[in-house]
């Protein structure tokens, strides 16, 4: 048997809402939430505990809000954790509880929790892929493998080198940046190198870009690119450069001129390859742009 009770709190001007458990071994209390004195008094005067879902809450934030209603007035409460919600609603009590939205709210909450779980799983997959990429480079180095890839950008400013377990970039001929922890940059270099090889095999100039759209979609993005591993790169109309993999945004791209350069060169190389293969129409990876009137 258990009941909700209001107890004293260490925070001045507040009271703790707890669930009191009664059993043969004695009495035990579990914390539910902390309420301002005025709100706690409204509850004692016959108020109703109202629970609302915060649909815009981040994964690290409480997604419930607890207030007290009395005679048409709302008495400000506090945020409510998942454990607090469970304790509050586990059984009918002397303090009435109203979940705003009822069953629909509960299903929305389940959906939010499922999305958060999916995001965590996708982040774990992303981390595992990065780990595989790093270990593969290390194994190549330990087996004494020769240089796997050496690719220079069209302007000659940067060069990406994959050699054994080492992955790095040069700038103006000088070793400049370690790429062992930059799988997106390495993936772009690999795909660009493959496109250039295919263009050369078809008799084209591997450094001559094909014709690309001036912008993409109604938002007029400057660049939209999808890699074979599912990573998606976007530079919006204001120049912001972002990339996502498995729905998770990749960090550290602000000011990354090397990765942005490789992305634009891959866009141009894909366009050039498509023009050399007029009978092959690549499947679109982004919604087609609506022609302007």
Compute the Cα dihedral for 38, 31, 116, 123 and give only its sign: positive
Q: Mean pLDDT, the chain, as a whole number?
A: 84
Q: Which two tokens stand for residue 198?
A: 């295919």
Residues β-bridged to residue 21: 2, 28
**pLDDT grade, residue 273 (50/70/90)?**
very high
The pTM of this model reads: 0.49
Report the pLDDT value the prediction gives residue 5, as an integer from 0 to 100: 83
Mean pLDDT of 209-234: 89
E-assigned strands of 209-268?
Answer: 223-226, 232-235, 241-245, 248-249
Asked if residue 138 has pLDDT above 50, the reply is yes
Report the pLDDT value the prediction gives residue 292, as an integer from 0 to 100: 44
Burial of 267 (0-12, 13-18, 19+ CB in 10 A): buried
Asked if residue 234 has pLDDT above 60, the reply is yes
Mean pLDDT of 18-32: 76
Compute the Cα dihedral for 152, 176, 224, 122 and give only its sign: positive
Asked if residue 137 has pLDDT above 80, the reply is no
**pLDDT grade, residue 285 (50/70/90)?**
very low
Q: For the chain, what percent of residues have pLDDT higher than 70?
A: 88
């Amino acid at each position: 048997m258990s009941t909700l009770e209001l107890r004293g709190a260490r925070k001045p001007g507040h009271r703790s809402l707890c669930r009191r458990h009664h059993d043969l071994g004695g009495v035990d209390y579990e914390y539910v939430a902390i309420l301002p004195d005025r709100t706690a008094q409204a509850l004692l005067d016959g108020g109703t505990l109202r629970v609302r879902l915060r649909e815009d809450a981040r994964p690290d934030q409480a997604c419930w809000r607890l207030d007290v209603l009395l005679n048409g007035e709302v008495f400000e409460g506090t945020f409510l954790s998942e454990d607090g919600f469970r304790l509050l609603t586990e059984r009918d009590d002397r303090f009435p509880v109203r979940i705003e939205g009822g069953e629909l709210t509960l299903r929305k909450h389940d959906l939010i929790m499922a999305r958060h779980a999916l995001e965590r799983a996708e982040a774990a997959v992303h981390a595992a892929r990065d780990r595989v990429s790093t270990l593969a480079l290390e194994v190549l180095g330990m087996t004494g493998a020769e240089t796997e890839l050496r690719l220079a950008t069209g302007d000659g400013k940067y060069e990406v080198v994959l050699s054994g377990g080492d992955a790095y970039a040069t700038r103006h001929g000088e070793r400049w940046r370690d790429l062992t922890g930059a799988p997106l940059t390495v993936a772009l270099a690999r795909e660009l190198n493959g496109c250039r090889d295919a263009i050369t095999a078809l008799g084209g100039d591997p450094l001559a870009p094909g014709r690309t759209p001036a912008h993409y979609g109604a938002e007029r993005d400057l660049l939209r690119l999808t890699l074979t591993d599912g990573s998606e790169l976007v530079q919006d109309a204001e120049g912001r450069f972002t990339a996502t993999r498995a729905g998770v945004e990749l960090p550290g791209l602000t000011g990354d001129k090397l990765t942005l350069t490789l992305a634009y060169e891959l866009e141009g190389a894909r366009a050039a390859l498509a023009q050399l293969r007029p009978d092959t129409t690549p499947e679109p990876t982004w919604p087609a742009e609506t022609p302007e009137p």
